[in-house]
Amino acid sequence: MVFLVVALLLLGVVLGTIAHAPLTFSVAAGLVIAVWLGVFALRERLGRRRGTSAH
């Protein structure tokens, strides 16, 4: 429960910060995060196909 509260608090801080940032910076940061998540998802999918487990 505490983790959820902290996560929501950090989300609020980040959204408040991004609201005051220039639009180009916001879009660039969003693209960086999207690429990072895409690479992570691709690595996870390829790792599961090979039968290796990280756990």
Residue 36 has pLDDT above 70, yes or no: yes
What secondary structure letter does DSSP report for 22?
-
Residue 53 pLDDT class (50, 70, 90 cuts): low
26, with CB counted inside 10 A (0-12, 13-18, 19+), is middle
In this predicted structure, what is the pLDDT of residue 38? Answer: 95
- Count CB neighbours of 18 within 10 A: 13
Q: Report the predicted TM-score, pTM, of the whole model to 2 decimal places.
A: 0.60
Q: What mean pLDDT comes out for the span 37-46?
A: 94
Model confidence pLDDT, tens digit, residues 9-29: 998 888 888 888 899 998 998
- Cα dist from 21 to 24, 26, 30, 47, whole Å: 8, 7, 12, 37
